[in-house]
A and B are shown apart, each in its own frame.
Chain A
Amino acid sequence: MRIDEYKCVACGNCIPVCPVGAIYIDPAIGRARVNQAECVECHACYRGMSKEHLFPPMVRGIRRVAKGLRFRFDPEPDICPTDALTPQALTWPRIVRRAFSDPQVPHESTGIHGRGTAEVKTNDVTGRVKEGEAGFVIEFGRPGLGAWFREIQEMTQALAALGVEFEKKNPVTSLMTDQVRGLIREDILGEKVLSAIVELKTGLEQVPTVLRTIRGVSRRLETVVAVGVSTRCDEQGQDRLRALLEAEGYPAYRGKTNLGLGHATVDVRAAGRRWAGPRPSEASL
């Protein structure tokens, strides 16, 4: 993100809105600026703020007069008065930041649309996670800290050493150069993103080992890690996962429950299509 120097009136509204604190007022120019090293290109400032399209010199004049008169004006805190926030064209490798940080763009930089798979959200029609299996979604950087790919690689290497299989349709997996060793492409290791998700599937019996590994690596990172673990219920709607999680000291309190209401309504042969699987961009909830 960039801020148009002519348009910006240094009202400061955008500063607290940035999830990673990348915006500041530069006293040398009397305008807001974006710290490009920290900005993760999430577009929260650009998309989330409402806009006025006021004439910048006029706003500056009014602000000067108000300041001189010590007049306290209480403006709406989520408006950029001059529409000064300006998205920039991104090239590789920086474009990766946006793909992982802005929930409304497809993952074109990774060759995969969306930021994860549908996990168990569509398990009633895809059967992706079966009884006796556990699906892991390990998220980095959220909430509000962001993560560097170098840190994510520390985790993928440790998990790869356990012999886990990474989910193929996941954007982080698509950026790996060596899935057996959990290595991510060198040229993006210095890129920072608001959040990235590593996904894998194991047997239920491996759950404690995977959880302990995640916990151990998390302690060495500079960011936070949020873990989700999923499973298929049995015919009575019961699961064996909860007890495993609680035995490891995790609160199995909140989560998603797939109600099993999904079923095929498309006659695939009649429609002459092949099922392409869920597009992960449709799967971000």
Chain B
Amino acid sequence: MTNTLHRFSEHYAFEPKPNPAPVEDDFIVFAMATRGVNDDGLVDKYRTFARLALAHNPVNVGDATKGGIYRPQPALNPLAHWKRDDRPDPERLIEDIEGHTVVAAVFSRWEDMEAFVEDVVQADLGLSVNISAPIDAAARCCKASGLTRHSLEYSLGFQGRVERLPDRAVLEISTMCGHGMVSHTFVKKMVDWVKEGRRTPAQAARYMARFCVCGVFNTVRAEKLFEQARTRGA
């Protein structure tokens, strides 16, 4: 599955509004090696990439084979229902990188993404690096960093039986896990809980993030969308 490509926004609305505001809070940068070409010292290269990312306020960082900085916990005790430790664990992420994978970092501010890309250029790891974001935002970043884009892949959005899909707010949150591990029904349930005041938008966003196995779920964007759903209705 081409995991970060088709993140739903109003630009893909099936009856688009005339001029939807551009998405300004969702930028993913990921690194990927090719076997036998640039995979020498790979673990160190990926750890360097992740550490550089962590210096620029990422909202999530992930290893596609192990998960993100928010992970499910295999052995909780009942106290979790009153006082759960739901802080991210970036050190565990770095520690667990062990070989071929894709390491991704998600940013909610263009400036953070751009500063990270500058660092990655300097580090010259030899890995293939892609920005998954609105194409024009990525182009702006390339210009700022003095890079010439090599290749592009456009998402054309969803077609077919789109009427079977849930509403915009739910889709915007659920498609931030491109592998489909964040269920629409779970998002709907959490929207209701946020509306009822049983959970905060930030808590709801973290529940979702644990299901995203590559760590590309944008918790800050999800939090905003939960908040919007709470006040505007979804």
Contact = CB atoms under 8 A, between A and B. Distances in A.
A120 B95 CA distance: 29
A285 B128 contact: no
Contacts, number: 380
B129 A230 contact: no
Nearest to A151: B160
A224 B102 contact: no
Interface in B117-140: 117, 120-121, 124-135, 138-139
A259 B154 contact: no
Contact of A252 (B102, B126, B135, B164): B135
Interface residues of A, number: 105
A74 B101 CA distance: 38
Contact of A226 (B124, B126, B158, B213): B158
A260 B127 CA distance: 9
Interface in A218-269: 218-219, 221-233, 235-237, 239, 241-242, 245, 250-266, 268
B148 A233 contact: yes
A273 B157 CA distance: 40
Contact of B2 (A119, A215, A236, A275): A119
Interface string B89-127: 000000000001110100000000000010011001111
B86 to A, nearest CB: 9
Given A230-B152, A285-B214, A224 B159 contact: yes
A115 B78 CA distance: 38
A218 B163 CA distance: 13
Contact of A44 (B73, B84, B211): B211
Contact of B11 (A119, A120, A251): A251
B18 interface: no
Given A17-B186, A275-B35, A283-B102, 7 more contacts: A19-B184, A76-B80, A123-B128, A254-B5, A254-B154, A257-B133, A284-B102
Interface of B: 1-9, 11-12, 16, 23, 30, 32-40, 64-65, 72-78, 80-81, 84, 100-102, 104, 117, 120-121, 124-135, 138-139, 142, 147-162, 164-166, 171, 174-175, 178-186, 188-190, 193, 198, 207, 210-211, 213-214, 216
For the complex of A and B, the 5 pairs showing the least CB-CB separation, nearest first, are A260-B150, A262-B128, A230-B153, A218-B160, A257-B138
